[in-house]
Amino acid sequence: MEETGLSEEEVGGYILRISREEWVRQVFEKRKYYPGIMRRWTRGMTILLARKTEEGDSFIGYGIIGRIDMPWELPEEEQEYCKEHGWKCAISFKTLVRFERPLPLKKTFLQGDRRKGRFLHGIPLTVEQVDSIIEAAEDYQEVDDQG
């Protein structure tokens, strides 16, 4: 995959990599993600959530953006929390799915991509690429059910 030759219109979603287990819990409990990077987030866009697992970097779920709040739009304690961690905004999900069985990146079209670990954070994807990953993750869940 090239660096990111995608135009704004071609971006269908982004990969966001969660570095800490406590933040994974927070995302799924609060249905909210605080990115430390800015992208052209839009309502209805899909965010693929990644995390390091025993099998390497893996997709652990995805969310559909319902709302984006800038720090000054948040309650004071949330503003402080964002400032403390250097987070740029708060993304609230209208839909949030957690895969029971994380899908390793090596089982997707990203298998040959040189970007690993923190370099996955913020990678833009087309709608087709997002759909491909979600379909692969759904199939991967079924394989486990049958195995």
What CATH number is associated with residue 139?
2.30.130.30
Beta-bridged to residue 93, according to DSSP, are 65
In a domain, 113, yes or no: yes
Backbone Cα Rg of the chain: 15
* Residue with tokens 């709302």, as numbered in its chain: 67
Tell me whether residue 87 is in a domain. Answer: yes
Q: What total number of domains does the chain contain?
A: 1
Q: Is residue 2 in some structural domain? A: no
The pTM of the full predicted model, rounded to 2 decimals, is: 0.87
Q: What is the pLDDT of residue 64?
A: 97
Q: Residue 113's domain spans which residues?
A: 10-146
Give ∠ CA 12-109-3 in degrees, rounded to 5: 65
Each of the 147 residues of the chain gets a pLDDT tens digit; together they read 334 567 777 888 999 999 899 999 999 999 999 998 889 899 999 999 999 999 889 999 999 999 999 999 999 999 998 999 999 999 999 999 999 999 999 999 988 777 777 778 889 999 999 999 999 999 998 865 554
How many CB atoms are closer than 10 A to CB 67? 13
Q: Are 97 and 28 in contact (CB under 8 A)?
A: no
Check if the beta carbon of residue 64 is closer than 8 Å to that of residue 95: yes
> Residue 82: inside a domain, yes or no?
yes
Question: Is 1 within the bounds of a domain?
Answer: no
